[in-house]
Amino acid sequence: MTAPDREPQENRLWTARTWPFIVAILALETFIAFEAFAVTTVLPVTMSSLNGPEWYSLSYAATITTALVGMIVGGNWTDRSGTRVPLVFGGTLFVLGIALCALAPNAAVFILGRLLQGVGGGIDAVVLYVLIAQRIPAGPRAKMFGLLTAAWLLPSMIGPVLAGLLTELVSWRTVFGFILAGAAVSLVGLLTVTRGFTSRSQSTPSAPALFGRQGVIALVAAGLLLILHLSGQLPLQQSMIAISLALVGLALTAGRLLPPGTLRLRGVAQRLVALRAALGATVTATDVYLTLYLQSERGFPPTTAGVVIAIGAAGWAGGAWLQGRFSDALDSHRRLITTAALLVASGPACVALYILDVTPLWLVVAACVTMGLGMGIAYPRIATATLAIVDESEHGKYSSALQAGESMSIAALLAVSAALLTAVSGVGGFTLVYVLLVAGSALAILIASAQRRDQSEWGRRRDWAKAGGRGTSPL
């Protein structure tokens, strides 16, 4: 085969070698997506039936909180010894956590299941990123990340509605039983297609310990996030003091956990990590509290609230498809990411106006579609750009950082929002929450705009890449 014949093959996503892996990873991602949308829809009913409505925010954020530990351990583990064992261990914990949720007799056991699910899911989230980097060529890799995002299409369209129907007609436990079966089968499928695959050894004498210093810092961060959620249940004055101290401690911890310069927005890759954190927290909180508001304040049943979320989430798949039509050049990444941040801001802004009775519900749905469109563009482009910018030996580190930063920001924002809802009940509390979320989307726009203005760093990295990555990276 000549070089011209090989080039198209290397730029194709679907080949005889890659398609079993792609199908397996998309199947697992589909059930992960279904779980995310289903939980958002049924959680208000679940926590009420378990006599723990005051733990609504923690029950949602529990997986995100412990995923932080899983991501750090997963990143270190894959950098040291490959992907196989972390995938098995993380997948087993994830399935066990879902099983506990399905069988939970009370809110405490349910939250425990969510905590275990988070550790396992955090490990596997990093492993999946590294597997993609290893098994999918650089050319079509952006399309692969786009497919990963598009795998949320069917769950986003039918997941919230199906979860609402199962909850109303049978039980919320049926929803978790369905997720348990699907996730277990999908995990076995992925392990089967990757059997015998020997990943490139990334272990070096300086590779981080499996748990090590970063793992300890991740545990501290997870503990501070739990303190944030527990602080919301204290009397107002004590709550504000505890939350303030926990936020300061979390910022200090994040500075040590994430790549140097992330909190100061110094460096292209570091800004991408911070941008994903801001976008992820804003969008997640927008959906979580919109579902709660529709059911608790507007009287919508779970199915109706699920329909609103389902229609809005369709934008994710559209954004994932759209970004795949553009090139994988760094300049293309930069322009698309900036546009995505602007689209995301429409969601929380329109929900805030809806709470104030300024806009109708159909406009909220339209804004949520636009918000999803932005995230469908942003997620694959941020991931692809980051992995292209950093050295190959740091793929595990930055895959972990992208997800760890997002996890910390989501859990912290949900905790602060829960405290606001506890301090100010009813519509007033939701209004304060969405003012906070609008501020979060504005921060994301500022970070993305900095990426757009700072063309010199992208240009230096582009020239370095064209030279074959020889010499020291300019970033």
pLDDT of residue 291: 85
Cα–Cα distance measured from residue 261 to residue 259, given in angstroms and rounded to the nearest whole number: 6
| Per-residue pLDDT at 473 exceeds 50 | no
pLDDT in tens, 81-120: 777 888 888 989 999 999 999 999 999 999 999 999 988 9
pLDDT in tens, 130-189: 888 777 777 777 778 777 766 767 777 787 888 888 888 888 999 999 999 988 998 888
Closest by CA position to 416, among listed 253, 281, 280 = 281
CA atoms within 13 A on the CB side of 71: 28
pLDDT confidence bin for 463, thresholds 50/70/90: low
The DSSP secondary-structure symbol of 207 reads P
Closest by CA position to 67, among listed 115, 130, 99 = 115
| Per-residue pLDDT at 362 exceeds 80 | yes
Structural domain contains residue 84: yes
Structural domain contains residue 204: no
Q: Using an 8 Å Cβ cutoff, are 388 and 259 in contact?
A: no
Cα–Cα distance measured from residue 443 to residue 274, given in angstroms and rounded to the nearest whole number: 10
pLDDT greater at residue 411 or residue 139: 411
pLDDT above 70 coverage of the chain, percent: 87
pLDDT confidence bin for 472, thresholds 50/70/90: very low
For residue 140, what are the contacts with CB-CB under 8 A and spacing of at least 6? Answer: 11, 12, 13
Structural domain contains residue 473: no
Structural domain contains residue 288: yes
pLDDT confidence bin for 374, thresholds 50/70/90: very high
- Return the CATH number at 173: 1.20.1250.20
pLDDT in tens, 297-356: 888 888 777 777 777 777 877 887 788 787 777 777 788 888 999 999 999 999 999 999
Structural domain contains residue 203: no
Q: Using an 8 Å Cβ cutoff, are 147 and 320 in contact?
A: yes
Q: By residue range, what is the domain housing residue 299?
A: 16-195+210-458
Provide the mean pLDDT of the chain.
81
**Average pLDDT for residues 395-401, to the nearest whole number?**
76
Buried b / exposed e over 221-234, threshold 16 CB at 10 Å, is: bbbbbbbbbbbbee
Structural domain contains residue 274: yes
pLDDT of residue 207: 52
Structural domain total, the chain: 1
pLDDT of residue 441: 94
Handedness of CA 441, 304, 153, 406 (dihedral sign): positive
Structural domain contains residue 201: no
pTM, entire model = 0.73
Closest by CA position to 145, among listed 288, 307, 290, 326 = 326
pLDDT confidence bin for 2, thresholds 50/70/90: very low
pLDDT of residue 202: 46
105: tokens are 């007799």
Structural domain contains residue 471: no
pLDDT of residue 282: 94
